[in-house]
Amino acid sequence: MKRFDEILHQGYSQSFEVTDVLFHEKTEHQDLVIFETPTFGRVMALDNIVQVTTKDEYVYHEMLAHVPLLAHGNAPEVLIIGGGDGGILREVLRHRKVERATMVEIDGSVVDLCRKHLPEISDGAFDDPRTDLIITDGVKFVAETDKRFDVIIVDSTDPVGPGEVLFTESFYADCKRCLTPGGVLVTQNGVPFFQAQEVTNTYQRMGKSFADTGFYTAVVPTYVGGFMTLGWGTDDETLRDVDIEVLRVRFEISSLKTRYYTPDVHRAAFALPQFILDLMTD
């Protein structure tokens, strides 16, 4: 393999120069490849769709973890659905108030291979005593568990293949059931320039369960198409509008070292371009 071509969006693709293929095999759930590139470092792709690179992973992982945790302010119990590379787990555990991070991943091979070939992404998080790693279907877990969580983070693939069930009305309702009062659900929600229907579908489906539903944004270079939307659901409408000074104090107390997230970026991420607002229809 000299090049890897990702054809996720109709009529558009991106191509990576490949200097070495570290692993390529079809697991029980999906086709998984990890390869080396001169531009983005090591890259993992599932079913021919890029999931993570060592060069820009920090943008996605910091924004999906720190925004809900710092908005909430006191989240000792965190649930992560997906996220087999360990990047979300790493960022969640950097919050000292987190007492336990329960991570539910459907494909144990993803965890094992990322620990072997992409160890810098998890950075030891799987060995943290606060980590509770469960290899099972996330949909089944939230439907059946009697545990309750302050923040739920859904680090999923796009709504095709194994990830499709993580974008349903019933899944969001089960997540709501698992949240403590005032808890927050955040989700990976695609690139609206190319995946507009995902925004509309999520807004409508999540809105059936939460009083405050919306999105915030980040720009991840390898998730091509401009802004990426991250879904937001909670019954506490004040959490999307936490005062900047409060966020700065929480950020300072947490002693977080970040490369993308700042309290100012946090606030600004909720200011959506008009074309995204137009997709938020009931």
Regarding whether 224 and 148 lie in a shared domain, the answer is yes
Residue 126 falls within a domain, yes or no? Answer: yes
The whole-angstrom separation of Cα 192 and Cα 195 is 5
Regarding whether 196 and 68 lie in a shared domain, the answer is yes
Report the alpha-carbon angle 203-204-210, nearest 5. 75
Last residue of a domain, one of 36, 52, 68: 52
Regarding whether 76 and 25 lie in a shared domain, the answer is no
Q: Is the pLDDT of residue 282 over 90?
A: no
Domain count, the chain: 2
Residue 30 contacts residue 43 (beta carbons within 8 Å) = no
Q: What are phi and psi of 140, to 5 degrees?
A: -65, -40
* pLDDT computed for residue 50 by the predictor: 93
Q: What are phi and psi of 38, to 5 degrees?
A: -75, -20
CATH number of the CATH domain containing 73? 3.40.50.150
In tens, the pLDDT along 211-264 reads 999 999 999 999 989 999 999 999 999 999 999 999 999 999 999 999 999 999
Partners of 14 in the beta sheet?
A: 6
Task: Using DSSP, state whether 201 is helix, strand or coil.
Answer: helix
Regarding whether 117 and 70 lie in a shared domain, the answer is yes
The whole-angstrom separation of Cα 161 and Cα 146 is 27
CATH number of the CATH domain containing 42? 2.30.140.10
- In which band, very low, low, confident or very high, does the pLDDT at 68 lie, cut at 50, 70 and 90? very high
Residue 229 falls within a domain, yes or no? Answer: yes
Regarding whether 119 and 84 lie in a shared domain, the answer is yes
Q: Rounded mean pLDDT of 94-105?
A: 97
Q: Is the pLDDT of residue 53 over 90?
A: yes
* pLDDT computed for residue 87 by the predictor: 98
- In which band, very low, low, confident or very high, does the pLDDT at 162 lie, cut at 50, 70 and 90? low
Which stretch of DSSP H or E encloses residue 80?
strand 77-82
Regarding whether 201 and 261 lie in a shared domain, the answer is yes
Regarding whether 187 and 224 lie in a shared domain, the answer is yes
Residue 170 falls within a domain, yes or no? Answer: yes
Regarding whether 46 and 82 lie in a shared domain, the answer is no
Residue 282 falls within a domain, yes or no? Answer: no
Residue 221 falls within a domain, yes or no? Answer: yes
* Whole-number percent of the chain with pLDDT over 90: 89
The whole-angstrom separation of Cα 80 and Cα 221 is 23
Q: What number of other Cβ atoms are within 10 A of residue 230's Cβ?
A: 23
Q: Is residue 155 annotated as a catalytic residue, yes or no?
A: yes
Domain span including residue 165:
57-277
Residue 119 falls within a domain, yes or no? Answer: yes
Q: Where are the beta strands (DSSP E) in 113-227?
A: 131-135, 149-155, 179-188, 212-218
Q: Of 85, 137, 155, 174, which residue is the catalytic one? A: 155
In tens, the pLDDT along 181-197 reads 999 999 999 999 999 99
Q: What are phi and psi of 254, to 5 degrees?
A: -75, -15
Between the CA of residue 30 and those of 74, 88, 156, 278, what are the distances in Å? 36, 21, 13, 34
- In which band, very low, low, confident or very high, does the pLDDT at 30 lie, cut at 50, 70 and 90? confident
Residue 104 contacts residue 134 (beta carbons within 8 Å) = yes
Residue 32 contacts residue 113 (beta carbons within 8 Å) = yes
Regarding whether 44 and 106 lie in a shared domain, the answer is no
Residue 204 falls within a domain, yes or no? Answer: yes
Regarding whether 25 and 154 lie in a shared domain, the answer is no
* pLDDT computed for residue 240 by the predictor: 95
